[in-house]
Chains A and B, each alone.
Chain A
Amino acid sequence: MTRSAEAALLVTASVVAAFGTALIGFTRGVGLDAQVALTFIVFVSSFGSVHLALRRWAPSANPYLFPLAAFLTAVGITEVYRINPSLGGVQRWSLLLAGLTASAVLFLLRGDGVAALRRYRFLFLTAGVALLLLPLLPDTWPIHGIEANGSRLWVGMDIPGGRELSFQPGELAKIALAVFLASYLADHHLAMGTTRRKIGRLDVPPLGQFGPILLAAGAAFAVLVYQRDLGASLLVFALFVGAIYLATGKLAYLVVGGGLVAIGGIVSYQMFDHVQRRVSAWLDPFADFSDTGYQVAQGLFALGSGSLTGSGVGLGRPDLIPAAATDFIFAAVAEEMGLAGAIAVIAAYALLVAAGFGIALHTRDLFRKFLAASLTLVFAVQSLLIMAGVLRLFPITGITLPFMSYGGTSLLANMTLLALLARISHGART
Chain B
Amino acid sequence: MNGPIRHLAAAVFAAFAVLVGAVTFLQVIQGPTYRDDARNLRVLTGRAGAERGTIITTDGTLVASSAADPNDPQQFTRSYPEGSAYSHVVGYASIIFGSTGLENSQSAALVSDRDATISGVINAILGGDLRPKGLRLTLLDNVQQAALDALGDQRGAVVAIDPSTGAVLAMVSTPTFAPESLLGVNAGPAGNALEADESEPLRNRAIDATYPPGSTFKIVTAAAALEAGLAGGGTTFPDDEELELPGSSATIRNYSGEVCANGEMVTLTQAFVSSCNTTFGALGMLVGAERLVDTAEAFGFNQPIPFDLTALASVIPNASTFVNDLPGVAQSAIGQRDVQATPLQMALVGAAIANGGEIMEPYLVSQVFNSEGRVESEAEPVVWRRAVSPATAAALEDLMQKAVAAGTGFGAQIEGVTIGGKTGTAEIPDEAPDVWFIGYGPIGAADDTPQIVVAVVVEDGGSLGIDGTGGSVAAPIARAVLEAFLAGPG
Contact = CB atoms under 8 A, between A and B. Distances in A.
Given A361-B2, A369-B1, A373-B5, A306 B16 contact: no
A36 B15 CA distance: 36
Query: B1, B15, B41 — which one has the most chain A CB atoms within 10 A of its CB?
Result: B1
A424 B6 CA distance: 18
B18 A393 contact: yes
Interface stretch (A85-93, A109-117, A243-251): A243-251
B26 interface: yes
A388 B19 CA distance: 7
Interface stretch (A100-108, A124-132, A202-210, A343-351): A343-351
Interface stretch (B28-36, B337-345, B353-361, B482-490): B28-36
B5 A393 contact: no
A366 B1 contact: yes
A387 B12 CA distance: 13
Interface stretch (A10-18, A147-155, A295-303): A295-303
B8 A304 contact: no
A239 to B, nearest CB: 12
From A245, A249, A339, A391, residue with most partner B Cβ within 10 Å: A391
B28 A301 contact: no
B45 interface: yes
Given A245-B4, A245-B8, A391 B39 contact: no
Contacts of B24: 339, 343
B23 A300 contact: no
A307 B35 contact: yes
A353 B17 CA distance: 13
Contacts of A303: 23, 26-27, 31, 34
User: Considering residues A249, A303, A342, A343, which has the most beta carbons from chain B within 10 angstroms of its beta carbon?
Assistant: A303
Contacts of A246: 4-5, 8
Contacts of B37: 301, 304
Given A249-B3, A334-B23, A391-B22, A304 B34 contact: yes
B385 interface: no
A329 B6 CA distance: 30
Contacts of B117: none
B256 interface: no
A248 B1 CA distance: 8
Contacts of B307: none
A357 interface: yes
A360 interface: yes
Contacts of B374: none
B5 A304 contact: no
Given A304-B35, A308-B27, A339-B24, A393 B19 contact: yes
A271 interface: no
Contact of A300 (B8, B12, B19, B34): B34
Contact of A316 (B12, B27, B42): B42
Contact of B5 (A350, A360, A381, A391): A360
B16 A384 contact: yes
Contact of B42 (A320, A338, A339, A346): A320
Contact of A301 (B1, B9, B13, B35): B35
Interface in B152-179: none
B112 to A, nearest CB: 16
Nearest to B18: A393
Contacts of B5: 246, 357, 360-361, 369, 373
Given A245-B8, A249-B4, A354-B9, A301 B31 contact: no
B35 A393 contact: no
Per DSSP, are chain A's interface residues mostly helix, strand or loop, or mixed? helix
Contacts of A361: 2, 5-6
A48 B5 CA distance: 32
A357 to B, nearest CB: 4
Interface string A272-290: 0000000000000000010
Contacts of A350: 13, 16
B8 A377 contact: yes
B40 interface: yes
Interface string A16-43: 0000000000000100000000000000
A29 B9 CA distance: 46
A407 B51 CA distance: 39
Interface in A225-250: 242, 245-249
A305 B34 contact: yes
A301 B35 CA distance: 6
B193 interface: no
A317 to B, nearest CB: 5
Interface string B130-155: 00000000000000000000000000
A279 B104 CA distance: 42
Given A246-B8, A303-B26, A339-B27, A317 B45 contact: yes
Contacts of A381: 12
Contact of A248 (B4, B39, B41): B4
Nearest to B16: A350
B20 interface: yes
Interface in B281-305: none
B20 to A, nearest CB: 6
Contacts of A305: 31, 34-35, 40, 42-43
Contacts of B45: 317
Contacts of A346: 16, 19-20, 23
A307 B32 CA distance: 8
B358 to A, nearest CB: 53
Interface in A359-414: 360-361, 366, 369, 373, 377, 380-381, 384, 387-388, 391-393
Contacts of A297: 39
B105 to A, nearest CB: 28
A346 B110 CA distance: 42
Interface in A308-362: 308, 316-317, 320, 334, 338-339, 342-343, 346, 349-350, 353-354, 357, 360-361
A317 B27 contact: no
Nearest to B41: A320
B27 A393 contact: no
Contacts of B4: 245-249
Given A301-B35, A391-B23, 10 more contacts: A304-B30, A304-B34, A304-B40, A308-B27, A316-B42, A317-B41, A317-B45, A357-B6, A380-B12, A388-B22
Interface of A: 29, 242, 245-249, 289, 297, 300-301, 303-308, 316-317, 320, 334, 338-339, 342-343, 346, 349-350, 353-354, 357, 360-361, 366, 369, 373, 377, 380-381, 384, 387-388, 391-393
8 nearest A-B pairs in the assembled complex, by CB-CB distance = A304-B34, A301-B40, A391-B22, A304-B35, A357-B9, A304-B31, A249-B4, A350-B16
19 contacts: A29-B72, A242-B8, A301-B34, A304-B27, A304-B40, A305-B31, A317-B42, A320-B41, A338-B27, A339-B28, A343-B23, A349-B16, A357-B5, A357-B9, A369-B5, A388-B18, A388-B22, A391-B19, A393-B19
